[in-house]
């Protein structure tokens, strides 16, 4: 059986940028505009096809997407799938189960908390975008 340590690190940073961008509901055009005048939708598309992204650029993208740099740099879909498949209840007979009472005091669903957090991030991003639009309008009026 293969574990995550048996495989070399095959993280594709460009693909991870695309995943996080899509999770945040941000279009390539919007990311390009946030990156500056030198950027276009096509340039973002090319960036998302790169396996490795320069550190400074990755830091800027992470800031725009409001995610940690390490999340983009280290997210590996295969590892995530492996962990999900092998960490569900019943996958490990030696692990504690709900019936043993270990989790009986848990009064929330972690997936619900994750979704709430994602919604908060989307709201913050929408507020940030609205503020950015107001700033642009005020600059245009000057």
pLDDT tens, residue by residue, 9-62: 578 899 999 988 998 899 999 999 999 999 999 999 999 999 999 999 999 999
pLDDT at 87: 72
pLDDT at 58: 94
pLDDT at 93: 59
Report phi then psi at 109, rounded to 5.
-100, 120
Mean predicted confidence (pLDDT) in 59-72: 90
pLDDT tens column, 72-130: 888 877 776 776 777 766 555 555 554 545 555 567 777 888 889 999 999 999 999 99
pLDDT at 56: 94
pLDDT at 28: 94
Judged by phi (left if over 0) then psi (alpha if -120 to 50, else beta), residue 92 lies in beta
pLDDT at 4: 43
| Euclidean distance between CA atoms 55 and 36, whole angstroms | 17
Put simply, whether the predicted model's pTM sits higher than 0.75 gets the answer no
């Amino acid at each position: 059986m293969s574990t995550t340590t048996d495989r070399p690190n095959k993280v594709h940073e460009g693909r991870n940028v695309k995943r996080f961008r899509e999770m945040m509901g941000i279009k390539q055009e919007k990311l390009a505009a946030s990156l500056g005048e030198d950027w276009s939708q096509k340039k973002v598309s090319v960036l998302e096809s790169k396996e490795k992204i320069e550190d400074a650029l990755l830091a800027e993208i992470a800031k725009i997407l409001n995610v940690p740099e390490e999340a983009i740099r280290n997210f590996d879909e295969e590892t995530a799938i492996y962990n999900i498949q092998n960490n569900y209840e019943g996958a490990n007979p030696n692990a504690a189960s709900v019936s043993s009472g270990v989790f009986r005091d848990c009064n929330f669903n972690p997936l619900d908390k994750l979704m709430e957090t994602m919604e908060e991030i989307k709201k913050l991003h929408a507020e940030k975008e609205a503020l950015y639009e107001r700033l642009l309008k005020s600059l245009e009026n000057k």
